[in-house]
């Protein structure tokens, strides 16, 4: 398994992390423990949570399932800031309360990485900085990041924080990569030439912020899976061709496409099937050529200007 260094206070993390959103529906603690153990045997040491996953039950069942010895070998990330159906809330009070809740549910003394979950239009960066400082001082969180934020939102936050953001988690896949589209169509009068995120990949590379990819097998705003989807015939033909060439699954090729980018993007996969996780981890064995990377991009319906 390839690894990525996110922060000096956090152990190196696996280039592929397990997204835990679906754990609440997996079964009992035994099933979750077996999934976590199998994931670690495959080389994964990074587990991604959020306080809203399963209305907190995903964190809770994980906390009941994982032993202290297993926890010592894990890097745990969770998120806060979404009050479902109500608002986004980056207030100091909400952040502190959310972390205490996650710590209790996860049955751990500390969280390695805390992300602010989506942007809050009403965020007060001074409040956020105060909350982060307290969490760091109390040893509850080792480092901080965001999800789905653009460069100026991160720049505003960083101007108040005691230490810079370490992570930005964005939706990213071969079938959903508007930040790549805009970067390739600079100064072009077409749909792809519209920059919707302000150059987030370039900004994160400049600022040494680790990018994480969520929904690596989805297209659109979680419209569905593109692998095996008749809406993407050319992409699937190319995925199958490369899967046969490298003797891996199509999903592994899709993750290898993400990993091929020099930004060092960490991929978060949400499967609860051990065999599928093992297949996906073989993406680390694949190093796509430049021609293959662009071939997959073009087969997803993109044109090079």
- State yes or no: is 294 an active-site residue: no
The vertex-233 CA angle with 232 and 239, nearest 5°, equals 90
SS3 100: helix
The vertex-143 CA angle with 8 and 284, nearest 5°, equals 65
Alpha-carbon span 153 to 120, nearest angstrom? 10
Alpha-carbon span 186 to 200, nearest angstrom? 14
C-beta neighbour count of 68 within 10 angstroms: 8
Name the active-site residue from 53, 226, 246, 297. Answer: 53
Residues in Cβ contact with 236 at an 8 Å cutoff, skipping those fewer than 6 apart: 226, 227, 228, 229, 250
Alpha-carbon span 202 to 179, nearest angstrom? 9
Catalytic residues, which ones? 53
């Amino acid at each position: 398994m390839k690894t990525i260094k996110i922060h000096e206070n956090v152990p190196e993390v696996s280039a592929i992390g397990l997204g835990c959103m679906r754990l609440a529906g997996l079964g009992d603690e035994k099933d979750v423990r077996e999934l976590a153990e199998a994931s670690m045997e495959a080389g994964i040491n990074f587990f991604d949570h959020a306080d809203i996953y399963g209305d907190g039950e995903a964190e809770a069942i994980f906390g009941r399932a994982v032993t202290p010895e297993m926890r010592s070998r894990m890097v745990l990330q969770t998120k806060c800031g979404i009050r479902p159906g109500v608002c986004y809330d980056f207030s100091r009070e909400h952040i502190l309360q959310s972390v205490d809740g996650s710590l209790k549910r996860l049955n751990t003394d500390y969280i390695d990485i805390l992300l602010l979950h989506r942007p809050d239009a009403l965020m007060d960066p001074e409040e956020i900085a105060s909350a982060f400082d307290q969490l760091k001082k109390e040893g509850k969180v080792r480092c901080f990041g965001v999800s789905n934020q653009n460069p100026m939102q991160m720049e505003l936050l960083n101007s108040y924080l005691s230490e810079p953001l370490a992570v930005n988690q964005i939706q990213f896949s071969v079938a959903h990569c508007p930040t790549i589209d805009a970067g390739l169509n600079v100064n072009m009068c077409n749909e792809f030439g519209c920059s919707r995120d302000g150059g987030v990949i370039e900004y994160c590379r400049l600022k040494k912020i680790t990018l994480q990819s969520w929904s690596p097998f989805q297209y659109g705003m979680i419209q569905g899976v593109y692998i095996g989807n008749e809406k993407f015939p050319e992409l699937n033909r190319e995925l199958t061709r490369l899967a046969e060439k490298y003797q891996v699954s199509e999903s592994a090729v899709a993750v290898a496409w993400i990993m091929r980018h020099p930004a060092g993007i960490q991929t978060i996969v949400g499967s609860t099937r051990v065999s599928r996780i093992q297949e996906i981890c073989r993406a680390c064995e694949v190093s796509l050529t430049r021609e293959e990377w662009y071939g997959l991009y073009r087969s997803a319906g993109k044109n090079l200007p």
